[in-house]
Structure 1
Amino acid sequence: MGPLLLLALAIISSSCTLASGIVYMELVYPNFTASHLKFIDSAGSFLASRNGTFKAAMFNPGGEPTNFYLCVIHAASNTVIWSANGNASVSEFGKMSLTRNGISITDQYGNFKWSTLPLKLPVFALQLTEHGNLILLNQFNDTLWESFDYPTDTIVIGQNLPVGKSLSSAASNGDLSIGDYKLVLGASDTLLQWQNITYWKLSMDSRAYTNSNYVVEYMAINQTGLYLFAHDATAVVIMVNLSPSEFRIAKLDASGQLIIGSFSGTSLKQEFVGPSDKCQIPLTCGKLGLCSDTDASNGPVCSCPSNFHASSQHTTDCVPSDDSHSLPVSCHLTDKNNKQNSTLVSYLGLGYGIDYFANDFTTPIKYGVNLSVCQYICSSDCLCLGVFYENSSESCYVLQNKLGSLMLSTGSNNDRIGFIKTLLRSSTPNYGKNNNSDDKGAGFPLVALVLLPFTGMFLVVALGLLWWRRSGIIRTGKLNLACPSSPSSGDLEAFSIPGLPIRFEYVELEEATDNFRTQIGSGGFGAVYKGTLPDNSLVAVKKITNFGVQGKKDFCTEIAIIGNIHHVNLVKLRGFCAQGRERLLVYEYMNRGSLDRTLFGSGPVLEWQERVDIAIGTARGLAYLHTGCQQKIIHCDVKPENILLHDHFQAKISDFGLSKLLSSEQSSLFTTMRGTRGYLAPEWLTSSAISDKTDVYSFGMVLLEIVSGRKNCSLRTQTHSNDDDNSGGGNSLSSSEQGLVYFPLFALEMHEQGRYLELADPRLEGRVTSAEVEKFVCVALCCVHEEPALRPNMVTVVSMLEGKLPFGRPRMESLNFLRFYGRRFTEASTIEDNNWQDDYMLHPQANASLTSTKSSSPIFFSYISSQQISGPR
């Protein structure tokens, strides 16, 4: 038995050794599995790079037993540089599996937690490189997937962070789920953001050196520092020079700081921190916590401003000291359609000397208003949680969505004073107490006992009448306002809304349009036909072919919202049809057609004052959509084709609110099927949030076209003057060339040189002054700033165009992206067919996303959809 026992012990020992696992070098192959327990002797590490610089492991960065992640780790310093399942941690029993389909992570019960995206070819091997890149290879050693393409909170030497990618901080050092902060790479700078609000820029740091005005293409670190590269890495836009080091990382820390560190001994040495002042970080002191000067050894000092106290002993968040006041919750978290009841709203002042981190990075929502107006704007908006008012400029800043920390202000910021919006709790009588004259809360009023039955009866009658009105089928002649919910046209549901546009039968619109005989326009939604109603009034009937709502009631609800919007600069919706699968909209007829036909056509030239009226009218219409409606409406497709002209060239915006009628799959159509893509803001390219500032960008592009009388992306004769000193915009031209011109870049260059008259429509022949053109060009360039926060809102744009506010001066660092777009546009034009038509112009944003500019087909560029650029929205 002795030898058999020894053999058994040897087998058991061998099994235990195999169970603990060995660390593989550089490569592992499919049908491989790893867990922390299987590789417990190596702290979960199962794969090392060729020289052992990096390791891959099922790793627990903190002490929580459920927080295990697939990580790539710098071995010497034990620093995590990448993690896979940050938002889906597993326990020590969780398993990583490598198959021919890729990598997947499951928990101890086999439940799916994370996997790589679907791959085009089967996986042959998983490799960990000496740069820390985890790569899936096919049998030809081609890369199918790599971790460098999906950065988390860190980049290392050898890794690039291109424009459009971002870093997200971890929740904490032990919890690698996505935290509060994000690093975003813009066209001219690196930004740190919280809740999509910028709180720091790399260019702000004294150690950051701006080297050129090229458009940034990617960020990288190397042995000598941090760099923002442009022009295929041949130009440096911003650099931070550091001491030479063979290993260096740039990490967006959970604290909200960008930290650059280099390897020294067995640890990372901190070389650069931004922002260095932690009081600039949004949540340093929690919600409404007041951050004082940061102590280098003890960190920031947190307290609560007057009228506030700490919400508990375990948090730095502050709440009103008076229990009758409570902080509101943004309607992003409740009902977006809510409007705050201003009678229940109050404001607690913060006093002078206290500022908010976002104020220096956002544009005031209003200029030239008093404090009461500023607070009124906030009171009627459930997104607004507070305001700051700047006395010197009479500017109103709003705090939205979520509140961060406060900080002591310095310098010019001392002129701002803040107010936090609160809701007043209503006091209710305590009916459980004895009826005693000394008890202020006791004693139900006798008059209430007498009036209560009559009040109840009145309410019952009123509610009954309201129900009767809403349930009745309202008719106006032949035109039924009720909207059927079933496919049968005769089955009418009791659904009506006061003020709803008239509901037409399909046959009535067939008769009105002579069976849709005269087409007067077309677009992404469908065709538009001229019609005449029985009362002899002219209408434009739009047949929607790409609607996305699933029911007639949903369609009617959206039409009710659009139909209840009335403004002199918005095309009026007369009625609609929702019958079977037919969806039609009936608009007032605009006898002068769309702006593009008048502006770019061969008819009489628009005089300058007519252009001014059109621009101001369009701006007023957009301002009303953004701020004057009960629900903010973002047009998303502002361009001359959607600006219609009536008598005396009165401008009216059409198609507002119609993006609501498209499904997510169809939502890209209304920006591609109409051809020209020159009005899409950079947000569409970078997948950033689409806001009212997206319309501001589009309006800025339209304003440049109004000035020049030509499309921004067009085949034109570009003129050049021989006289370099002729900055007054004279017309003495000595040469010209035929080609594709990206006019916004030309406008930027002429603005830099002060040669504004060269931007004016030459058909005006001197009937406009340089000062008049300068005003419009400056407003337009302010509208097309790359960063949405730097663009004025439409209310401000109206005031600047009307002369009530001085027009802003464009910030050149936020317009450098136009140089990149212009260069790409020029490159594209050299390979396009000479018969390129204006109606199929490429927006350079689409070209900017391509890795190659070589193509033999101009149609390929013309019809790139917004989903191809930035993914579905």
Structure 2
Amino acid sequence: MFFASAAPSTLFMGFLLVLPTIFFSCTLVSALPFSELVYPNFTGSYLQFIDTSGVFLLSRNRTYKASICNPDAQQINFYLCVIHVASNIMIWSANRDHPFSEAGKVYLTSKGITIANETGNEVWSALPTHSSVNALLLSDMGNLVLVNQANVSLWESFHYPTDTIVIGQQLPVGTSLSGAVSASDLSTSDYQLGLTSSDARLQWHGQTYWKLSMDTRAYTVSGFMVEFMVVNGTGLYLLGHNGSVVVQVVLASADFRIAKLDASGQFTVNSFSNGKWNQEFVGPSDSCRLPFVCDRIGQCSANSASKTPDCSCPSNFHPSSPSSNTCVPFDGSFSLFSACNSSNNGSQVNSSAASYLTIGYGHDYFSNDFSERLEYGVNLSVCQEVCSGDCSCFGVFYENSSGSCYKIENKLGSIISSTSSENDLLGYIKVVAAPSTNFDGNNNSGDQSQEFPLVALILLPSAACCVLIAIGLVWLRRRRISKFGEVKLGHPSSPSSEELDAFRIPGLPRRFDYKELEVATDNFKTLIGSGGFGAVYKGTLPDKTVVAVKKITNLGIQGKRDFCTEIAVIGNIHHVNLVKLKGFCAQGSVRLLVYEYMNRGSLDRILFGTGPVLEWQERLNIALGTARGLAYLHRGCEHKIIHCDIKPENILLHDHFPAKISDFGLSKLLNPEQSSLFTTMRGTRGYLAPEWLTSSAITEKTDVYSFGMVLLELVSGRKNCLLRTQSHSLEDDSTASHASSSSGSGLIYFPLFALEMHEQGKYLELADPRLENRVTSQEVEGMTRVALCCVHEEPSLRPNMATVVGMLEGRIPFCQPRVESLNFLRFYGRRFTEASMIGEQNRSNNAILYSEANVLLTSTAGGSHRSFSYMSSQQVSGPR
């Protein structure tokens, strides 16, 4: 990095040549800090600069200071720090894990910076090897930099962040912030904020307890790969290639702002103004979600009267001491399990030695929302057995309703007291027998040579017979299964081996019982939609959550394992512009999916209905939200998904929420035979890309085409297939031979009309007339150009969805449609017009308009219009 702003003037450069000698001599008698630069042969200590509280260097604008500091005014641990002057907040420390005393010294040589303790032993250094150091610079942004003779950076404190980043600093992927132990002890704690290519996450001993993208104030903007995190005057951002925004937290404008991982484990964003700090963002906002807020097994409960949570011990445990939050078993014959690498070397780990103490219902654990299920669809004993054989497992949480098993691993943290009605978790803490205290006077265990009791010889055979009888009864009970896999008495049965394997698949969402959904939907009473995969019903869960239940009928996958494998993939896809899959049901041949409920319904009902007109900004927001969702499906999620049926019916709306795409990933549920049909017939009239009927590969560009058609409908407020014209009269020219026929009948193919209005620059002719004068020509032009670029005949000419997002956001200039790749619309228009004329002739016989009942599938590969056929839209995509 070249610091041009820090380079001195030519006149001043000559004076600087003699400064090293002057500075070196001055440091022996003066305690005044230097300005901006310190040169080699500098030596500093806290005692030497005691009059300035250890400050030895100031940035040019006096915003930051470099200091040998003792945080919290303690007199034991000293550090090399960079501090914001106005707020006196530390933004960086060099030797956080190796403090020194007030007699320690900082050395600057031509090799770099070295810190030595009072005995002269080195405790920290920054020694770049590729060039000689000419100066130590403290920039106006708070960056401590070693530069060479050419003023080129050799080393920067910004590249080695501690627990804070400031405006002007980047936190790249692969790096992390580490919290301090306390305000006075800057040693690295167990809390880390790590940055991955998709998110920022907080971790404790390698266990995630918070993600930025899941926070309610964070907004996922695009599906780009994350490259770094920044904080600036407008908020907190995860940025991708070329600075594109991936996730953002927009905040009020501020001149000075920091993002910090504090000692408690919370990640905060704070601004400083008028001499006061203002906390603007905190994650997690619920302090009970912090892994060690109440120490080991301490039970955390939110306290509405204060910001400090209440800590206690759960059932079967009590505080280890009156002043401690750490809990131990009430029963003194048990002790908490020790980890594998402790002194027992894992000797406690075997099924017979491990026991479990329950902490009862109404509890949760910080990692349950972020870790994969250990098992699924198993009984409690299986869950505990798996943990017993794992020396990294300290306990389990078992969900009765689904048979889900979650593991407490690596380190035992605090327990969360949960009041959620959805919480069906039962917690168990792993314990072992405490060391025996039954010793004789010689420290030996009691006499083990006693004769085997006679009573045992009598009772053991009887006990064995009882065990065999019990096993037989259990086997008979498991045979009595109803058609939905339930025992006749109504209790859940033990799953078959096939079901057991399926439910061990990690990542599955909540599993619902069929009867539970039958009750929730009032026996599937309220139909709210239907499509190619089945009908959708409105339902209300016991906690009053309203859901949409899709009863899948056209399903190829019959095996539960295959079905659950695909549902696990779909259930793990989370984005603000995708309808959330809340759960599923797989009993017998029944397959149900439970989605979040979108109370405004689908876009087609609002856009084409008779209700209040959608304003232009609403249309733009819907377009942008849909584009963001598609960009995430194509590039952002772990398994790329091509939707293949983008249309207004699959774009759902909710009050105060962005538009969301539904039915994504359901094509994965088709069997091979259906999948073959899918490659040639999937889609809906008016949204089918030309490559569906050719041998061309189906890629994400197929979704781009469908999205372009949706954009045209957002512009016009009407279906793209046919538009009855009243005031429009198309010019009769050689390039629009279809126009005469369409103008004569009053019907045209709207995508072609959009192309022609684009060629003539008459964009307001395309706008929904209900908008009247509430939209400008420039606004319509932008969306129309994007739409036409999306419907290019050649998939390679269509932009990807990330680019579309950029154009709709205004970050990327609008593309210029290629007319030669849009000429196929003229042929489509002629055929649609012919179909509409047939419909007009039959209208007197009360026939359904032919063009509304059929879909034209035309192949125009290579610019030659080969054959066309009509096919029912019901056959292609199912009921709409």
User: TM-score w.r.t. structure 2 length?
Assistant: 0.49
User: TM-score w.r.t. structure 1 length?
Assistant: 0.50
Which structure has the greater CA radius of gyration? 2
